[in-house]
Structure 1
């Protein structure tokens, strides 16, 4: 009786988990960076709008 199928399957699962452990944090980091950039751009746009509104009121 040979267990080559089990050994190959175990190595395949190990490789898949190792690859996921490598990729998953990078995906999460990219998501977080995108969210931070989006919030920063919204705040910058809101600051610009507030500054424009203030200029309108000072006339």
Structure 2
């Protein structure tokens, strides 16, 4: 029982790191999706319209 505090601390650190990894990954996916939507919107705005003449 003398190592119980170390074991509890190790599990607590593991849970915190696992939680942070989940949250950071979620934030990264959201950021990449937002950037991809912005790129698609810029590309759509740069394309000539169907009724316009292009060079």
* TM-score bin, normalised by smaller chain: 0.7 to 0.9
Where does residue 25 of structure 2 map in the other structure?
A: 28
Where does residue 48 of structure 2 map in the other structure?
A: 51
Q: Which of 10, 35, 39 does residue 38 from structure 1 map onto? A: 35
Higher RCO structure, 1 or 2 (CA under 8 Å, sep 6+): 2
Greater per-residue helix proportion? 1
Any gaps of 5 or more consecutive residues in structure 1?
Answer: none
Aligned residue pairs: how many? Answer: 54
After TM superposition, which residue ranges in structure 1, 4 or more long, deviate above 2 angstroms? 54-57
TM-score (norm 2): 0.76
Any gaps of 5 or more consecutive residues in structure 2?
Answer: none
